[in-house]
Amino acid sequence: MSPLELLLQQLINAVSIGSLYALMAIGLAMVFGILRLINFAHGDLIMVGSYVALLAQLLGLPFVAAAAAGVAASTVAGLAMERVAYRPLRGAHEIAMLLTSFSVTIFLENLAIILFRPTSRPFPAPAVLRSVIEMGRLRVAGLDLIAIAVAAVLLLALTLFVRRTNIGIAMRAASQDLLAARLVGINVNRVIATAFAIGSLMAGVVGLLWSARVGKVDPLMGFNPVLKAFVASVIGGLGSLPGAVIGAYVLGGLEILLQGLLPAGLTAYRDAFVFAVLIALLLFRPNGILGASEREKI
Amino acid sequence: MAMKPAEEGQPRLLARLAGPVVLLALLAVLLAGAALFAGDYIQRIVIVIGINVILVVSLNLSNGFTGVFSLGHVGFMAIGAYTAALLTLPVSLKAVNLPNLPGWLGRLVLSFLPATLIGGLLAMAVAFLVGLSLMRLKGAYISVATLGFLVIVQVILINWDQVTRGARTFAGVPPHSTIWNVWIWAALSVYLVWRLGSSAFGRAMRAGRDNEIAALSLGISVIRSRLLAFCLSAFLTGVAGSLWAHFITSFSPKSFYFVQTFNVITMLVIGGLGSVSGSVIGVFLITVFSELLRNAERGFDLGALHVPPIYGASQILMAIMFVLVIVFRPAGIMGGRELDLRALLRRLARQGRKKEAE
């Protein structure tokens, strides 16, 4: 392969993995923006959606119907999470909320272990998702292109939603100032539920793409994606939607770059380098790339 | 611990020492009882409680007193555990299990105390390097960044095959931990953190936690006090890691990850952030409770009813309990206050007198 082709190939890889991170990071960022809650359990929505999609396929449903069922299950699980665990904590300290989300994670993962056994199960995906398209000497996985396209559509839809619809505008208002939003008559509960629903729906979509990519599902599968989505949203600036998307693509690029540049003995340490970069970045931009520096008022 | 007027200080020295001495004597009697008469199982639980006391009390120093909510402390525990275990592992075992170890390390065998101290010091050195940058961050950013540190440690442990055996079990660590050496460290940690918490330095830490700007305007270097607390806390956590390694004798990187982090934090939060006595109470309650749950999880017979084993159920119950505590008693059992035996006795006496008067 010529250097240009190699670059193009790696660029596609970076954008594809970045797209998955972006869809995850959006969900984290939306909820953090409004509630200042870092929802660690967001990763487990991936797991819930994937298992439901798997079950539906085992019951004989066609893939499209199973996928819809999986995404719906993620959404319902996200809404239930908000209602049961997070709503009683409205206004609590952000650390208390973070710890609660850890509990939700422990709860869901162990529930999955009890229900489905701790071992992984194969995740069947239709041929389209497993196809490889050859363009000249480039080999592009169909799944990568689908991930990029799906992310583009969803991100565009989200942009229109938060700019054009009443509830979207209310959501932005709530993330600027929850109290003021309430004062002008915004139904905060509805706004928060909507944020959870959208984030969970995207997590469900990521779950399908992720499971198809690795070909299996297991109860702890949400752990790594949510960590990466964290990094992405912190790089971009916690709570900022455009920041989360930018952070996600930066992270995708960084991972592919490290994969390519690290000497063979060190590629296994890639994730350690990723987090080291995160810590270094926070040193210079403590609020991420787009995060407004919050000045405390006295 | 309440502040006392200066003139009371000197003559009351004996009286002031009386409390800790009585407590220590009581603890020693209890431990001796456990060491002499209790069965193996109870003795193991007593050791686990001692190690958890060190872990939680030292975490409280950072998370409770300075408000730097670290999620990465288990990483320091891992550093202490692997370092000390590498130093005490017999040469013959090193040759078999870790053939690619650098020569000097392969031949070096230290006794328990120096190995533990080196483990703690190494954890502290790493905490200093990491803390230089992390201590500048605020609130949730610190939590995420320290979680990142935990991941870094995990990745290194899994991949540094020649030193850590990678993801495989690190086995054959000599069982040096006893009720006595564990509880001496535990008592030391409690005393150290308690004294520190009630010193001017401890008040500076709390001031920085409660209002950073006000603390800065009083001339307190918030970052320095956070960093000192973080380093000291990492040292004690590293020591606890070594004690744990020489208690459990075989472990793998998995032992030092998310589940352990959550366990320690549960004890800390349920006991009450910022309260040393709360930490100790939290450790007792949660260790005993989770031990009971773990036994129940294996299945049991209740009269005619046979309950089958459900692995994972104990974790679920703990998680539910944790959320309930955060919702209904967010400050934990002690709510940042300390258990003050004398104040408690005085209050009881007052109530007694009141009853007599009636």
Q: How far is B247 from chain A (nearest CA, A)?
A: 26
CA-closest candidate to residue B56, choices B340, B342, B313, B334: B334
pLDDT in the model for residue B341: 66
Q: Which residue has the higher pLDDT, B223 or B120?
A: B120
Tell me if A95 and B143 make a contact (CB, 8 A cut-off): yes
pLDDT band at A58 (very low <50, low <70, confident <90, very high): very high
Q: Are B290 and A106 in contact (CB under 8 A)?
A: no
> What's the CA dihedral at A12, A13, A15, A20 to 10 degrees?
140
Q: What tokens were used for B231? A: 């380093």
ipTM of this complex: 0.86
Q: Are B34 and B46 in contact (CB under 8 A)?
A: yes
pLDDT in the model for residue A217: 93
pLDDT in the model for residue B63: 87
| B258-275 pLDDT, tens digit each | 889 988 998 998 888 888
CA-closest candidate to residue B150, choices B234, B42, B57, B246: B234
Q: For residue B147, which residues of chain A lie inside 8 Å, CB to CB?
A: 227, 230
A38, A272, A283: residue with CB nearest B156: A272
pLDDT in the model for residue A1: 67
CA-closest candidate to residue A28, choices A239, A188, A222, A207: A239
CA-closest candidate to residue B63, choices B197, B184, B153, B191: B197
Q: Which residue has the higher pLDDT, A283 or A220?
A: A220
Query: How much of chain B exceeds pLDDT 90, in percent?
Result: 37
pLDDT in the model for residue B3: 46
What is the pLDDT averaged over residues A208-224? 91
pLDDT in the model for residue B5: 47
pLDDT at B16 over 90: no
A113, A230, A275: residue with CB nearest B152: A275
Q: Which residue has the higher pLDDT, A125 or B241?
A: B241
pLDDT in the model for residue A6: 82
pLDDT in the model for residue A260: 83
Q: Are A275 and A224 in contact (CB under 8 A)?
A: no
Residue B157 has a CB neighbour count (10 Å cut-off) of 25
Interface of A with B in 93-152 (CB under 8 A): 93-96, 98-100, 102-104, 106-107, 110-111, 113-114
pLDDT in the model for residue B4: 46
Q: How far is B236 from chain A (nearest CA, A)?
A: 23
| A256-292 pLDDT, tens digit each | 988 888 888 788 888 899 888 888 888 787 777 776 6
pLDDT at B8 over 70: no
pLDDT band at A134 (very low <50, low <70, confident <90, very high): confident
Q: Judge whether A268 is closer than 8 Å to chain B, CB to CB.
A: yes
| B87-104 pLDDT, tens digit each | 999 988 888 888 888 878
| B131-187 pLDDT, tens digit each | 988 888 877 788 888 998 999 999 999 999 888 888 899 998 999 999 999 999 999
Residue B141 has a CB neighbour count (10 Å cut-off) of 19
Tell me if B136 and A286 make a contact (CB, 8 A cut-off): yes
Cα B143 to Cα A110: distance, rounded to the nearest angstrom: 23
CA-closest candidate to residue A207, choices A196, A198, A216, A195: A216
| A62-76 pLDDT, tens digit each | 999 999 999 999 999
pLDDT band at B13 (very low <50, low <70, confident <90, very high): low
pLDDT at A8 over 90: no
pLDDT at B204 over 50: yes
Q: How far is B252 from chain A (nearest CA, A)?
A: 18
* Mean confidence (pLDDT) of chain A: 88
